[in-house]
Amino acid sequence: LNLKGNHLTSLPDSLATLSKLESLNLGQNAFVNLPTVIQKLVALRSLLAFQNQLRSISTATVVSLVQLTALNLNDNQLCTLPSELGCLVNLQELSVDSNQLTGLPDTIGSL
């Protein structure tokens, strides 16, 4: 599902019905936080959320997306990453350039 390049700040709860959705592109929108409905997209393999205004990534979102193989959070306002990223054992690509990170969680070595 490609929602790139809009002015979105939220997603409808009905998105949760897309239980087999594997790819979601939220790039170039106006999200400050990832919508909680994403937690219900358990088949998601690729999440692109670049060029938004994300300030943080919730632990609940990370632990629910165990199938993720690619996560792109480039060009946001992230200062930290949740330590639960280490739980994403299938993750092959993590992009976090152009944020405000001052360090990485120790669990990043588990990927």
The confidence band for 110, taking pLDDT boundaries of 50, 70 and 90, is confident
Phi-psi map region of 31: left, alpha, beta (phi>0 left; psi -120 to 50 alpha): beta
Rounded Cα–Cα distance for residues 10 and 103 (Å): 28
Question: Above 80 in pLDDT, residue 88?
Answer: yes
The confidence band for 16, taking pLDDT boundaries of 50, 70 and 90, is very high
Q: What is the pLDDT of residue 95?
A: 97
pLDDT single digits (tens) 62-84? 999 999 999 999 999 999 999 99
Q: What is the pLDDT of residue 18?
A: 97
Rounded Cα–Cα distance for residues 54 and 56 (Å): 6
What phi, psi does 5 have (nearest 5°)? 75, 35
Question: Above 80 in pLDDT, residue 86?
Answer: yes
Rounded Cα–Cα distance for residues 49 and 30 (Å): 10
Roughly how many angstroms between the first and final C-alpha of the chain, as a whole number?
A: 26
Single-letter amino acid code for the residue at 110: S
What phi, psi does 92 have (nearest 5°)? -110, -25
Rounded Cα–Cα distance for residues 91 and 7 (Å): 28
Single-letter amino acid code for the residue at 59: T
